[in-house]
Amino acid sequence: MKLWGGRFEKETEGMAHDFSSSLPFDRRLAPYDLRVSEAHALALRECGMLAPEECEVIVDALRRMKGELDAGTFPFQDDEDIHSAVERVLVERLGETGAKLRAGRSRNDQVAADLRLYLMDEASVLRRRLTDLMACLLDQAEENLGVVMPGYTHLQPAQPVLLSHHLLAYCEMLKRDMERLAQARARMDRSPLGSGALAGVTFALDRSLLAEEAGFGGITGNSMDAVSDRDFVADFLYAGALIAVHLSRLAEEVVLWVNPRFAFLALDEAYATGSSLMPQKANPDVAELVRGKAGRMFGHLVSLLVMLKGQPLTYNRDLQEDKEGVFDAVDQLKAMLQVMSGALRSAAFDGKRMGEAAGEGYQNATDLADYLAEKGIPFLRAHEIAGRAVRLCLEKGVGLEELPLKDYQEMEESIDEDVYRRLSVDACVKARDIEGGTAPSRVEEALREARRWLEAEGTRP
């Protein structure tokens, strides 16, 4: 059964039907289409387009269909889309009473409503997955509190930091991800129902009632915009793309850290794979796949933006192409978050090796320059002296903390024995005692604040 056949004499050519049918992928919107249909039935009753007994019969039938959907027994056929499937079954079972439900609505406002409700739910699911990953990072940060590691710029050893501080950096990224999803969800939470095909409808539908019954917090302001707007999909995909960026960065660190040249991290064997040829291999394939799937997320966002950019108002069939990408993005993001949480929760950090690496590469050179600046030497000159000291250490094969005092004093006579107290790894870390810094007291404070934030986030829808 088609929802538009009266004007046509010919049946749609089979290949054209298959090409334009969206049921193979939009059937996941079925629960939302049933919810929207029930809300529409109630609104039709309130404006006198359905008798109370007709509304009751329709609502009962829709709820039975929901039970069949949950049980996997819903009688899908070769329908054009999910809206056609729902209406076909309703008319088959209720006859003319079921056919009355179409009054005052269009597939244009239906699909806009269905997709908004779906993404509102999935945004909440993704936020829960993000909180799981953030909790995992916080657990590891607390368990490894005090472990020192190299901090990098340009992937070169730069300054020593606490591992907990490093992990908390990813928590900051995840916090922004959760905030973006919450903002995107808030913008989705407007009902387009009552907009009809594009101009509104002639029946006195109570749009606020429709919105409330369907599960929206408000209504859209313009019927033409409401049926053609997919900004909310772009919002979601943009938020998803940045989640993928952050997961990919974290995955890249895992790939590096499990390499024996780093040896900072050991993945549980349940999250590693072997080689079909080389018996010794334990590959971080899970992290590599997360890194690889990030590009897929970017592609979905770009595809949507390109599809939207040339469309005149209002609805165009191009908009059917918004769904497969967003459905795949939802599935992949949920899997990526879940597998990264599992991998990191069961992973083990090698604090001894990280501490050794924190003492390599003259990462205390900035502290030497700071020490000289505190003695009144202009930082430009202090930086130059510290650089000369590094060059001398390279020639002698020693660390800055091992260079004899006489060598220091030949470069700058104001240097005395207290310089060595500033050059240990622990001293370098403790010296960054500033809000947002890596000093242990600041990191402990940041951990507590992150826990408080996470607990509050868990109360949001």
154 is catalytic: yes
Is residue 275 annotated as a catalytic residue, yes or no? yes
Task: Give the active site residue among 20, 275, 414, 441.
Answer: 275
The residue among 58, 257, 236, 186 whose CA lies nearest residue 460 is: 186
Around Cβ 293, how many Cβ atoms within 10 Å? 19
Please enumerate, as own/partner, the contacts of 181-186 that have beta carbons within 8 Å and a separation of 24 or more.
181/123, 181/126, 181/127, 181/130, 181/236, 181/239, 182/123, 182/127, 182/460, 183/235, 184/119, 184/123, 184/232, 184/235, 184/236, 184/238, 184/239, 185/119, 185/120, 185/123, 185/124, 185/461
What are the two backbone dihedrals, phi and then psi, of residue 153, each rounded to the nearest 5 degrees?
-130, 140
Of 20, 83, 106, 154, the active-site residue reads: 154
In this structure, what token pair is assigned to residue 96? 């003319």
Tokens 């949480």, residue?
Answer: 341
Burial per residue of 187-207, b for 16 or more beta-carbon CB atoms within 10 angstroms, e otherwise: ebbbbbbbbbbbebbeeebeb
What is the distance, to the nearest Å, from the Cα of residue 220 to the centroid of all Cα atoms in its chain? Answer: 26
Q: Name the packing angle between helices 52-71 and 82-94 (round to 10°).
A: 120
Extended strands (E) in 92-190 = 148-153, 156-162
Report which of 96, 71, 79, 216 is spatially closest to residue 63, judged by C-alpha positions. 71
Query: Is the bond preceding 273 in cis, omega lying within 30 degrees of 0?
Result: no
Phi-psi region of 437 (alpha: psi -120 to 50; beta: other; left: phi over 0): beta
Rounded to whole angstroms, the Cα distance separating 411 from 429 reads 26
Question: Cβ of 396: how many Cβ atoms within 10 Å?
Answer: 12
Sign of CA dihedral 149, 246, 153, 382: negative
> Who's near 237: CB < 8 A, 6+ residues apart?
297, 300, 301, 304, 325, 326, 329
Residues 6+ apart with CB under 8 A from 8: none
| C-alpha–C-alpha distance, residues 204 and 161, integer Å | 65
Residues 6+ apart with CB under 8 A from 320: 20, 22
Rounded Cα distance, 31 and 118, in Å: 9
Q: Which residues are catalytic?
A: 154, 275
